[in-house]
Amino acid sequence: MDSPLPGAGVPASILVACWLAPRAGWGQTVAPADDGALECPALDPRGPAADPDLYCIELIHAPDFPGASGYVELTPADSPFGAAVTIDGHHRFHLALQLAGLPDPAGLGDYSGYVAWATTPRLRPVLNLGRVANGRTAVGPIDLDKFLVLVTAESDPDAPAWEGRIVLRGTSAGMRMEPEDLLALTGMVGGAALPPPARGWRRPPMHPSVAMMPGVGRLTPPADPFLPSAAEPLPPARPREIVRLGDGGTLDLEAGLVERTIDGRTFTMYGFNGQYPGPLIHVPQDATITVNVTNRLSLPTAVHWHGIRLENRFDGVPGLTQDPIEPGETFQYRIHFPDAGLYWYHPHHREDVQQDLGLYGNLQVEAADPAYFGPANREQVLMLDDLLVDAA
Ligand SMILES: [Cu+2]
């Protein structure tokens, strides 16, 4: 601990935060894996080291460098506040690269050495972290929240962006929610031109000044495009109604087809109870209501009560908390509203079709405390959606 002791000018509460923050050193000796490859050291529960699951990045070798391995230790930069962040809130980390098995760069081509890089999922900015070699090299600090680390062979170690061969790469824990094949998708590893989307999907038009995020342009949804049709003429969608329910109240909610007119053209779309959006369900805080959801669609469905803390079996996620409601079936939800606020409900089955075609509505939970919301002369609930409609 390199901070002053309590009584030396730093409040004790801040020191406690420093001690709790995962910033302690990485004292372990490196244990190579069975095949000699370096791996993040396991957490020693008795030791002071930070959890390697969050503070160590495993570096994966490119296919043509099977002998190379390594990892990156992250240590939060010094901060009197426990959490090391920049003035605009980005985490600041020192990086230490532990590398093994890097071949002589001159043997790979016109390269003088290896350089480490950090960049974001959008591939900008690209930060040259300096030369690295087999063994341990400390670099940084950097202040990126989600990032990739790359090790490349370069002829110019001061280049602003990598030009040479990628040997190792890894991603920070914050990137785990990205597509697992992001690196391949971006074309960074074995990339090629953007393939046409499969299954009849078309890419949405992009504004010329807004580029599609790297990787996303290569994704094709694992489903077929779908638009409903109706054998009979449909009633036009009605504007949503406000349904006021007290404790113990019941609502029958039917997901079905409606006709909507957008920009002078008529479309077969979806609605709850023939309304678009669905009914605004207004309840007092602490009420428990029953909603009987009947599926009049040709697809399975369910209703998720977004943001409501409720019993898991009524959370409305098909395949996770309930079986999907098949066409013609009814599912009974019992929903308790412990928290005041404005919420929404919507299906979690083929969201691309069911939500976009109109299956959503609001939940307004009136606070038990009349002063909970600020005073207003008039209250209006708006729901915003955007819809891309083909010219054809
Ligand atoms: Cu939701």
DSSP 68-108: -EEEEEEEEPP-TTSS-B-TTS-B-EEEEEEEE-PPPGGGG
Count of positions (residues) in the chain = 392
Task: Compute the distance from residue 350 Cα to the ligand 1 centre, in Å.
Answer: 13
- The residue with tokens 């109240």 is 249
pLDDT of amino acid 179? 58
What distance in Å separates the CA atoms of residue 86 and residue 310, rounded to the nearest whole number?
Answer: 38
Instruction: Take residue 66 and report the two structure tokens written for it.
Output: 């099977």
Which of 289, 280, 285, 293 shows the shortest CA–CA distance to 335?
289
What distance in Å separates the CA atoms of residue 143 and residue 91, rounded to the nearest whole number?
Answer: 5
User: Same domain for 330 and 262?
Assistant: yes
Last residue of a domain, one of 136, 164, 185: 185
pLDDT of amino acid 292? 98
Q: Spell out which residues have Cβ within 5 A of ligand 1, the ion.
A: 306
Task: Compute the distance from residue 338 Cα to the ligand 1 centre, in Å.
Answer: 18
CB of 300 closer than 8 Å to CB of 326: yes
Domain assignment present for residue 392? The answer is no
Per-residue pLDDT of the chain (392 residues; tens, 9 = 90+): 333 333 333 333 333 333 333 333 344 344 455 567 888 887 665 555 667 778 899 999 998 999 999 999 998 888 877 678 888 888 899 999 999 999 999 999 999 999 999 999 888 899 999 999 999 999 989 999 899 999 999 999 999 999 999 999 999 988 877 655 555 555 444 434 566 777 788 777 777 776 666 566 667 777 888 899 999 999 999 999 999 999 999 999 999 999 999 889 999 999 999 999 999 999 999 999 999 999 999 999 999 999 999 999 999 999 999 999 999 999 999 999 999 999 999 999 998 899 999 999 999 999 999 899 888 999 899 999 888 887 76
Which of 307, 361, 358, 360 shows the shortest CA–CA distance to 335?
307
User: Same domain for 157 and 259?
Assistant: no
H/E run at residue 163: none
Task: Compute the distance from residue 347 Cα to the ligand 1 centre, in Å.
Answer: 8
Domain assignment present for residue 38? The answer is yes
Domain assignment present for residue 181? The answer is yes
User: Same domain for 262 and 116?
Assistant: no
* 190 φ, ψ (degrees, to nearest 5): 60, 30
pLDDT of amino acid 18? 30
How many other C-beta atoms lie within 10 A of the C-beta of residue 46?
A: 6
pLDDT of amino acid 219? 72
What distance in Å separates the CA atoms of residue 288 and residue 338, rounded to the nearest whole number?
Answer: 9
How many other C-beta atoms lie within 10 A of the C-beta of residue 329?
A: 13
What distance in Å separates the CA atoms of residue 64 and residue 109, rounded to the nearest whole number?
Answer: 14
**Cα Rg of the chain (Å, integer):** 28
User: Same domain for 281 and 153?
Assistant: no
Last residue of a domain, one of 146, 163, 185: 185
3-class SS at 260?
A: strand
User: Same domain for 72 and 180?
Assistant: yes
Burial class (CB in 10 A: 0-12, 13-18, 19+), 219: middle
User: Same domain for 42 and 179?
Assistant: yes
Domain assignment present for residue 202? The answer is no
Task: Compute the distance from residue 356 Cα to the ligand 1 centre, in Å.
Answer: 13
Quick one: how far is CA 29 from the chain centroid?
A: 35
What distance in Å separates the CA atoms of residue 38 and residue 68, rounded to the nearest whole number?
Answer: 9
Task: Compute the distance from residue 321 Cα to the ligand 1 centre, in Å.
Answer: 14
Domain assignment present for residue 19? The answer is yes
How many other C-beta atoms lie within 10 A of the C-beta of residue 95?
A: 21
Task: Compute the distance from residue 64 Cα to the ligand 1 centre, in Å.
Answer: 43
Task: Compute the distance from residue 332 Cα to the ligand 1 centre, in Å.
Answer: 19
**Structurally, how many domains does the chain consist of?**
2
Task: Compute the distance from residue 344 Cα to the ligand 1 centre, in Å.
Answer: 7
How many other C-beta atoms lie within 10 A of the C-beta of residue 201?
A: 14
Instruction: Take residue 96 and report the two structure tokens written for it.
Output: 């230490």
* Domain span including residue 116: 12-185
Quick one: how far is CA 236 from the chain centroid?
A: 37
User: Same domain for 272 and 359?
Assistant: yes
User: Same domain for 275 and 174?
Assistant: no
Task: Compute the distance from residue 307 Cα to the ligand 1 centre, in Å.
Answer: 7
Domain assignment present for residue 163? The answer is yes
Domain assignment present for residue 348? The answer is yes
User: Same domain for 31 and 161?
Assistant: yes
Domain at 359, CATH number? 2.60.40.420
Last residue of a domain, one of 139, 164, 185: 185
Contacting residues for 254 by C-beta, under 8 A, at least 6 apart: 272, 273, 274, 293, 294, 296
Domain assignment present for residue 218? The answer is no
User: Same domain for 162 and 288?
Assistant: no
* 249 φ, ψ (degrees, to nearest 5): -70, 160
* 74 φ, ψ (degrees, to nearest 5): -110, 130
pLDDT of amino acid 87? 85
What distance in Å separates the CA atoms of residue 113 and residue 152, rounded to the nearest whole number?
Answer: 8
User: Same domain for 27 and 126?
Assistant: yes
pLDDT of amino acid 14? 32
Task: Compute the distance from residue 303 Cα to the ligand 1 centre, in Å.
Answer: 9
Task: Compute the distance from residue 372 Cα to the ligand 1 centre, in Å.
Answer: 24
3-class SS at 389?
A: coil
User: Same domain for 249 and 180?
Assistant: no
Q: What's the order of all strands across the beta sheet hosting 113-119?
A: 126-132, 113-119, 148-154, 165-171, 56-61, 69-76, 93-100, 135-142
Task: Compute the distance from residue 43 Cα to the ligand 1 centre, in Å.
Answer: 36
